[in-house]
Every structure is written in C-alpha cells, then in structure tokens.
Structure 1
Amino acid sequence: MTAIAERRLALLGGGFSTDEDDLLDGWVLGQVGTPRPRVCFVPTASGDAPAYIEQFLAAYASRSCEPSVLQLFRRNLDDDALRTFLLSQDVIYVGGGNTANLLAVWRAHGVDQVLREAFDRGVLLCGISAGANCWAEGSHTDSFGPLTHLADGLGLLPGSVCPHYDGEPGRRASYRAAVAAGALPAGWAVEDGVGALFTDGVLTEAVTRTPGAVLYRVEPGGGGSGGGGVEERAVPCRLLTGSSRRPAPQA
C-alpha cells in the first residue's frame, strides 16, 4: 500500500529577503529529507519583481539545493509543463507582496489547483508575508492600502494568518479586532523572525532567529492577554543558532 504523504506548510517571518543570516532558510531546507532539495521561488505577489528574483537566486545559489523560479507575468510553460514543474519540487517558497493580487493571478493560471495537488503529494509549501497569508482561509493584509481583513485564501491551513505581528504599526490591534468581530476566523499571528511548521493542519514546530520573538494563537474570547475580545496565547519558539551570516552586499 502506498504511504500517504504528510501535508506540510510553513509560515515565515523572515528569510533571505529580510535577514542577513540564513537561519530560517536553513531551517526550511532542513525539513526536506534529501541532500539537494529542489526549491522553487514563486514571486507572483511582487509582480515577479526582477530584484526579488535575483535576491532569491543569489541567496540559494550557494546552498546545497537546486533553486528555480516560476514567473507568471512572463509565463513560458503550458498547463501540463507548469504542473509537471511544480510537482517535481521539494519546496515551493512564495514571496511577499500583494496577497489579493497573488490569489487572483494564481487562479487565472490554474496555479492554485496545482499547489493543492503538490500539498497533497507532500511538497513543502512555505512563504513570507503574502506568501504566508495565501495558505490560510483568510488573512490580515494591506493589499487594498489600509490594513484590513481578507476572507480569502487557499484554505490549506485552517483559520487565518497575520504576518508582521510586531513589525508594522497597527497590525496587532487590527488583526485582533478582525478576529474579535468574526471578520476572520481564529488563527496564527507571526512575529518577524519566527517560523511555524504545520503538518496536516496541526502546529508541529515553532522556531525563531530573533531572541524573544514568538508565534501567537489568536482566538475569539473575552479574557485573553490584553482583552479586546480575543484570547491571545504565545507559543514558545526554539531559538535557531549556528548558521553563518552571508556577507553584506557592497554599496
């Protein structure tokens, strides 16, 4: 009988695009049981920004992996080739940008369905900011300008996600208000520097590259930390150490 693959995804509060070290990137690659994992970067949320793509390739070229990029704004793969390409990956890493635009473009190209299939086959899905929001049922976003809730997502992770929980003014209060009012379901708030791994929808590991940074579980309720109609529970994170820093880019 064929074993059923574990369905895994990771929410990232950092990585190659924001950090000088490679601690969270190393943690992601460490989840894959192969010496040279195939890692595909999907920069749709940024409009396939060339500088973002170059940053990914520069960060991962020196690692023990096979990096690649899926561009949809200059797409050159037909449907069959696109599906084959994504299903051949070990890790699919989605970049930040505009969550609403990301979801719309994926659906126009059928990428949302392929990602569901990849998830079911055991490909590790992960991402930062919009690339974390997209996996849940709903998220907290600035896709429309001001901070607001977006009751839309792929629904591969039950509930909602809020990135940059401690890193951007207004994020925490706005997300808590959305959960308290029922505009978003209970979910996970990710502080910058944190990584959270979910297996079959259940949190299985929480790590951080930043001492003191944590993951929060935020649910409707009246008596949690800070009140405000929500219960907010901090999830302790294991501190990542030991990875060397990359040289800073030359000015």
Structure 2
Amino acid sequence: MIQGQIIAIGGGGFSEGSEPRLDTYILEQCPTSKPKIGFLGTASGDAESYRQKFYARFSQLNCLPAHLTFFRRTPDLADWVMQQDAIYVGGGNTLSLLAIWEAWNLPPLLKEAARNGTILAGVSAGAVCWFESALTDARAGTLMPLKCLNFISGSCCPHYSLEAERKPTFEKLVRNGDISPGIAIDDGAAAHFVDGQLKHVISGHDGSAAYKVIQSPNGAMTEPLKVNS
C-alpha cells in the first residue's frame, strides 16, 4: 500500500460522456484552485479519439488538462508526473498498460507523486491497475485474474452490474482463492482510497454503487458499501 489518494471509477465518466460528478470530484480533492490534471491513455494505445474526449470534458472545467503519450516521442517522465496535481488513467487493456509502464519504470514515479500529494485516478483499466490484483478481459473472450501494481491491497472488478459475467466470475475466483477478496465497482460509481483505506464511495447517478466481495461460509458474497454522495 502507498500513502496518498486514489480514486477508482468502475466505468463511465468522460469516456462515455456521462457522470460529470465523478470527474469534478477528482478535481475537488486537489489542494489548488485550478489544478493540473494529466491524462494517461496507455491502455487504449494512446487513442486520439479517447484523448479528445478527455479534453472535451476537462477543458470545460476549472483545471489545466494535459496528456502523456508512450506511442510517440515521450517527454521526461519524472518532470511531467511531478507537475500534475491529479493523474487520470483511461480504460482499455490492463495487461498492456502494466507492461508498458513497467518498461518505462513509471510505477515508482507514480508512487512518489502520490506521496507528494498528486491524486491518482482512473476508469476501468485505469481504476483496477492500482490494486494488488484485478479481474480483467485483457485477453479476448475471457475474464481472468491479473496481478497489478499493489498500491492498494486486495482485488478490484470494474463494470460490476453492467456486464453479466463479472459478478459470478469475480465471486467464483474469490471463493476458490484465485484472487484476493476486494471491491467491485459499478459503471457510474467511484471508490476513494486514502493511504490504502476506503474512505468514500461516490455515485454519479442513481443506482450506481460499489461492493465488498469476500469469502463466506457458502463460498463468496457481495455486500453493498455505503454511498457517501
């Protein structure tokens, strides 16, 4: 676990043109009046269309948006990371995201930035990457456990109520001990961690929530978590 703040969004937000509350919530956690927020679209291969959605949303908010790419000429990573008040990681292929970040030695910089006060956030792949492990569809046609950065202990599953196979698969893996117990997050909801501990669950629309998924005498169970806003 690391010191600092991490906001994990199960799905939606600017990438779907929905739940602006989830995006403004990230900015509200920053200590500056006009925070710098940097976008990492690594999991989508730095897709231009995704980056445009980021700027379409955040250029309308009281912040200074920027982005970092690994698929063109890449700037000095330490300099870019340490300039940001918040870093927002987009969705896509979690396995590829982790491999590219490892090749560039980015995780230690993100850990240092979090200790210094930078908010780490993300949606889908950009949400689960911070955990010890995650349920991912990185390989087509299958849901599988994946070791992640371990900035937060336990596991994470995004899109929990939207995609029908997520809940039974995640519960089965927890029941069998193939993945650590953890948290599941709906599209339109976010979980806010401080120093590795869950502090708030934020709902961007009615019905979106997050859940604790744990082992039980009958195998595994999903328990709703209190929504704070």
TM superposition score normalised by structure 2: 0.95
> 2:69 is matched by which residue type in structure 1?
Q
Q: Is the 8 A contact 2:136 2:146 kept in 1?
A: no
Can you give the 5+ residue segments of structure 2 that lack an aligned partner in the other structure? none
Which residue is 2:8 aligned to? 11
Q: 1:232 to 1:101 in 2, by over 3 A?
A: same
Q: Is the 8 A contact 2:134 2:156 kept in 1?
A: yes
| Aligned length, in residue pairs | 227
Can you give the 5+ residue segments of structure 1 that lack an aligned partner in the other structure? 224-228, 240-251
Which residue is 1:24 aligned to? 22
Q: Is the 8 A contact 1:189 1:215 kept in 2?
A: yes
Which residue is 2:42 aligned to? 44
Which residue is 1:72 aligned to? 70
For residues 186 and 110 of structure 2, what CA distance do their matches in structure 1 show?
25
Match of 1:232 among 218, 222, 229: 222
For residues 45 and 6 of structure 1, what CA distance do their matches in structure 2 show?
24
- Partner-residue secondary structure (3-state), 1:116: helix
Match of 2:141 among 115, 138, 146: 146
> 1:109 is matched by which residue type in structure 2?
W
- Per-residue displacement from partner, 1:105-151 (whole Å, max 9, x unpaired)? 00111112211211222211010010011000100010011332333
For residues 69 and 224 of structure 2, what CA distance do their matches in structure 1 show?
37
Q: Is the 8 A contact 2:95 2:146 kept in 1?
A: no
Match of 1:176 among 144, 156, 171: 171
Structure scoring higher RCO (CA < 8 A, sep ≥ 6) equals: 2
Which residue is 1:249 aligned to? none
For residues 217 and 187 of structure 2, what CA distance do their matches in structure 1 show?
26
Moved over 2 A (4+): 146-151
Which residue is 2:160 aligned to? 165
Which residue is 2:199 aligned to? 204
Which residue is 1:247 aligned to? none
Q: Once structures 1 and 2 are overlaid, which stretch shifts more, 127-136 or 148-157?
A: 148-157
> 1:193 is matched by which residue type in structure 2?
G
> 2:22 is matched by which residue type in structure 1?
L
For residues 92 and 211 of structure 1, what CA distance do their matches in structure 2 show?
26
The two structures, once aligned, show a CA RMSD in angstroms of: 1.4
Aligned-pair identity (%): 36
